[in-house]
Structure 1
Amino acid sequence: MRKTFLLIIAVLIVSTGMKAQEELLSKEVAVELALENNFGIAVARNQVEIAENNKSILNSGYLPTVTANAGATYNRDDSVIEFPGQFLENGDPRPDIVLDKAEAQRYNSGLTVNYTLFDGLGRLYNYKSLREQYELSELQARETIENTVLQLFTVYFEVARLSENENVFKEALRISRDRITRAEYAFEYGQNTKLDILNAQVDVTNDSISLLNARQQLVNTKRDLNVVLSRSLNEVFKVDTVVRFIPKLQLEDFIATAKENNVALLQQKSNTAINEYDIKISRSGYLPTVGLNGSYGWNLNQSAASAFFPGTNNETWNFALGASLTWNLFDGGGTTVRLKNAKLAYKNQEILNEQVELEVDRDILNALAIYENRLEIFKIQQQNVITNQNNFERSQEQFELGRITSIEFRQAQINLLNAQTNKNLAKYDAKLAELQLLQLTGQLLNIPF
């Protein structure tokens, strides 16, 4: 028993010395690290960049297409031309004509330009749709950032709660160790029995184990926080345990403007706008397409000499302009089907608008009620700590005077410990409820932490 007790105390002293090297990780720095390093946020930002590329003028269809081409051909012929049954004037057979290494070359190059002058306004609405999709991708990235920040503070406040609980258990251990010293002195002077010393040692052992468990939970939760921050799991730090709540009037203003700032509602409005553009894009299939084209080219033909004609060089330069009109008068009904489906998709988005708006209103009211309830619980727990602190101090005085037993004193100590840990839990529960409410109002990223 004595060895176990001394071992526990030694472990606690070593771990206390290690904590002296910890640096403060403030809430602001934690948010900066998460925004800079978090994997999910990095992926979301890349998606925004892709959408930005898609909405550029280079992907709009408004620019002409320019095509260059060039070519070269080389021929070499070896031929023999015979004249069977033909004779010269002197009566001799007409001799064969032999052409060795008859070479011919052909060279060409050209430049072609095509431009769609009018396509039924399809590219105009497609360009607007791509810009709206970019806005949607930004909203999706914002949602990812908000969820990451909320996840960050869920873990951050858990670290803070466990840190405060650790201090509570350390204080409880200090009080129990003082009891051992006092019990040993009292035993030496014959004021109590050995049982009081044993009871104090049991309480020290229990408090030591509680402190060790709290520290292990704290270490594990710090690793969880390092994962959220995407940094080394062995980073050593401590967190800020000060919590500030948003003033009630400011919170009411945030709730009043929630429909203009809630990210889910904004995404739904963006989806509706995209579907509206889809209707106009489908309708453009009924209109004609007008295009312009032009070309400029050069050709050179170098032919070899033949049996009857000499070799020639033929060089040509050409320039052409043209216009075209294409009107798909009937495409088998495909355009009509696409237009009908686009209209139905738009109606679905209007239905979803009402659904999401109703759900957001419900979520805000629920989140507000939860926040107010948890805040009230926190206030009650604060008062409960004061009450139990007064009761403990009075019990300590009575215990030192010998008017109450060690069991009664221990109960007062346990009551205070429970009140303090409950208060810590209530404090961070209330703050997390506030952050969830701020997320629903669209203000989570606009407030100081």
Structure 2
Amino acid sequence: MKLKHLTYSGLLLGGLLLGTAALAQNGATYLGPEEALRLALEQNIGRQISDENVSISRQNYTRGNAGFLPRVTAAGAKNWSVNNENLEIFGGDRIIETSRRGARSNNLNAGVTANWTVFDGLGMFYAYERLRLQYDASRQLNLNFVNGLAADVLQAYYRHTLQQQQVAVWESTLELSEQRLRLAKDRYEVGRSSKQEYLSALVDYNADRAALLAQQEALLNARHALNRLLGQQPARPLTTADTLTADSSLIASLMEPQPFTQNPELRAAEYQAAALQEFIKEQRSQIWPSINFNAGYNFATINNQVGNLLFRQASGFTYGISGTWLLFDGLNTRRTTQVARIQARIAELDRQQLELDLSSEQADATAAYRNSWQRVALEQENVEYARQNASIALDRYQLGVTTSLELRVAQQNAQQAELRLLNAVFELKLAEIDLLRITGQLANGL
């Protein structure tokens, strides 16, 4: 009788493929990594919030918000009055007395005025540039969120694939334990082994069943985490790829440090630092005079039942230029300028720290990536050796020249070798994803 085991392929066609039997799940939908990314970008709530933040920055990035455009206002009023009036009006050589109870009068005033700041020390230009940089920073932050989301989704996706494969390994282990249990029972019933050996095989079989249940729970938890990132109900059934693939074509590029020119988080920090420099100029522009152009059109009417003026109507344009110069404001302009300079220095220090952090992360991920390839090659050899050893142990057990304990140890060694290989490829995939995230390549094309 031959030992049953899972099959793995080696490095083929530029990738490392670990083959396992796909889990049968009622109603489960197969999900590829590209589809998972698409769903996350469409449905993830955090992505939607990030998009709305970009929309806010875009709404703020206008010439009107920077102060380029005039301010136009319209106003109007209509008033009525009823008065008891006693008037003495000089009429030539005599005084005319007039008395009226309930005299009615009304007046109408309407007008449009415009105020346009034509010079403010170039503050409006600095403000407009600041708004542009803030908008660019928000877009980069959104891209950074997408970059991070893509990394999280791919890691969760391949973690789900790993759990699927580990379930398959435990199912295979359980089959082997069941086979060993049947052999131990048969040997015990014909008197070729002790009851202790049979009970030991039974205990090991139940232990493997419990381990399989725990692994199935881990698979469910991995599915819940993936569905959450996809913006779906946690319990929604799905299956992912039944293989973990590490792209060997990336080895040359990922083994060497890559520049961070495409890292969106670093670019956002650069835009934010530049925006604060513009804000400093904007604050300093307040020391210059402000020149405004004013224009307006007014219309007014007056109607009186008594009095010297019974009716009046007037309309016309007004225009002019005004200027203001803030000579002293309690040193508040100086204070706000100094605060802006401090904020700019902090932003630059944050940018430098971020660059150092990214360099450190890249160095760690590169080392992990390099070591993972070596581990994968080593574990592949171990899997082959462990399979051969388990197969020999099973044959020897069937012939009665080895003990049940020795067979169990050989089976456990084969199982652990399979699991170590799975974990090695998974960690290789995580390092690959992390390197692509650090250099900003994950967000490209999304």
| TM-score (normalizing by structure 1) | 0.84
- Give the 3 Å change call, closer, same or farther, for CA 45–64 of structure 1 in structure 2: same
Equivalent of 1:445 in 401, 419, 443: 443
- Give the 3 Å change call, closer, same or farther, for CA 257–56 of structure 1 in structure 2: farther
Q: Which segment is superposed worse, 185-194 or 422-431?
A: 185-194
* C-alpha RMSD over aligned residues: 2.7
Q: Deviations over 1:90-112 (max 9, x none)?
A: xxxxxx97524311110111111
In the TM superposition, 1:411-426 aligns within 5 A as 411-426=409-424
The residue matched to 2:440 in structure 1 has which SS?
Answer: coil
Partner residue in 1 for 2:93:
none
Aligned-residue offset at 1:431: 1.0
Partner residue in 2 for 1:103:
104
The residue matched to 1:76 in structure 2 has which SS?
Answer: strand
The residue matched to 1:150 in structure 2 has which SS?
Answer: helix
Aligned-residue offset at 1:435: 1.3
In structure 1, stretches of 5+ residues that fail to align are 1-15, 83-95
- Give the 3 Å change call, closer, same or farther, for CA 58–244 of structure 1 in structure 2: farther
- Give the 3 Å change call, closer, same or farther, for CA 78–340 of structure 1 in structure 2: closer
Distance 2:360 2:196 in 1: 60
Asked if 2 retains the 8 angstrom alpha-carbon contact of 1:75 and 1:105, the reply is: yes
In the TM superposition, 1:42-441 aligns within 5 A as 42-79=48-85, 99-187=100-188, 189-247=190-248, 252=253, 257-306=258-307, 309=308, 312-441=310-439
Aligned-residue offset at 1:203: 2.4
- Give the 3 Å change call, closer, same or farther, for CA 341–252 of structure 1 in structure 2: same
Distance 1:436 1:322 in 2: 63
- Give the 3 Å change call, closer, same or farther, for CA 200–346 of structure 1 in structure 2: closer
Q: Deviations over 1:291-343 (max 9, x none)?
A: 1111111111001124xx5x722111121111112233444443344444434
Asked if 2 retains the 8 angstrom alpha-carbon contact of 1:165 and 1:421, the reply is: yes
Asked if 2 retains the 8 angstrom alpha-carbon contact of 1:109 and 1:298, the reply is: yes
The residue matched to 1:66 in structure 2 has which SS?
Answer: strand
Select the structure that is richer in helix: 1
- Give the 3 Å change call, closer, same or farther, for CA 17–47 of structure 1 in structure 2: closer
Aligned-residue offset at 1:376: 1.9
Asked if 2 retains the 8 angstrom alpha-carbon contact of 1:254 and 1:443, the reply is: no
- Give the 3 Å change call, closer, same or farther, for CA 21–348 of structure 1 in structure 2: closer
Letter in 1 for 2:298: G
The residue matched to 1:258 in structure 2 has which SS?
Answer: coil
Asked if 2 retains the 8 angstrom alpha-carbon contact of 1:24 and 1:237, the reply is: yes
Asked if 1 retains the 8 angstrom alpha-carbon contact of 2:113 and 2:297, the reply is: yes
Aligned-residue offset at 1:54: 0.6
Q: Which segment is superposed worse, 276-285 or 183-192?
A: 183-192
Distance 2:166 2:26 in 1: 17
Asked if 2 retains the 8 angstrom alpha-carbon contact of 1:279 and 1:342, the reply is: yes
Distance 1:250 1:296 in 2: 73
The residue matched to 1:446 in structure 2 has which SS?
Answer: coil
Distance 1:447 1:188 in 2: 66
- Give the 3 Å change call, closer, same or farther, for CA 250–293 of structure 1 in structure 2: farther
Letter in 2 for 1:406: S
Distance 1:233 1:353 in 2: 37
Q: Deviations over 1:246-285 (max 9, x none)?
A: 4466652796542312233212211221122122212212
Length, aligned pairs only = 417
Distance 2:418 2:326 in 1: 78
Distance 2:85 2:269 in 1: 77
Asked if 2 retains the 8 angstrom alpha-carbon contact of 1:254 and 1:441, the reply is: no
Q: Deviations over 1:334-375 (max 9, x none)?
A: 334444443444344444444333332222112211221233
The residue matched to 2:232 in structure 1 has which SS?
Answer: coil
Q: Which segment is superposed worse, 45-54 or 390-399?
A: 390-399
- Give the 3 Å change call, closer, same or farther, for CA 345–423 of structure 1 in structure 2: same
Q: Deviations over 1:25-55 (max 9, x none)?
A: 2212222222222222222111111111111
Distance 1:213 1:348 in 2: 49
Asked if 1 retains the 8 angstrom alpha-carbon contact of 2:161 and 2:244, the reply is: no
Distance 1:173 1:404 in 2: 21
Asked if 2 retains the 8 angstrom alpha-carbon contact of 1:258 and 1:442, the reply is: no
* Structure of larger gyration radius: 1
Letter in 2 for 1:404: T
Letter in 2 for 1:206: A
Distance 1:202 1:389 in 2: 23
Distance 2:56 2:24 in 1: 47
In structure 2, stretches of 5+ residues that fail to align are 1-21, 89-96
Equivalent of 2:29 in 17, 23, 37: 23
| TM-score (normalizing by structure 2) | 0.85
Letter in 2 for 1:37: Q
Asked if 2 retains the 8 angstrom alpha-carbon contact of 1:80 and 1:99, the reply is: yes
Aligned-residue offset at 1:78: 3.6
Asked if 2 retains the 8 angstrom alpha-carbon contact of 1:255 and 1:441, the reply is: no
Asked if 2 retains the 8 angstrom alpha-carbon contact of 1:120 and 1:288, the reply is: yes
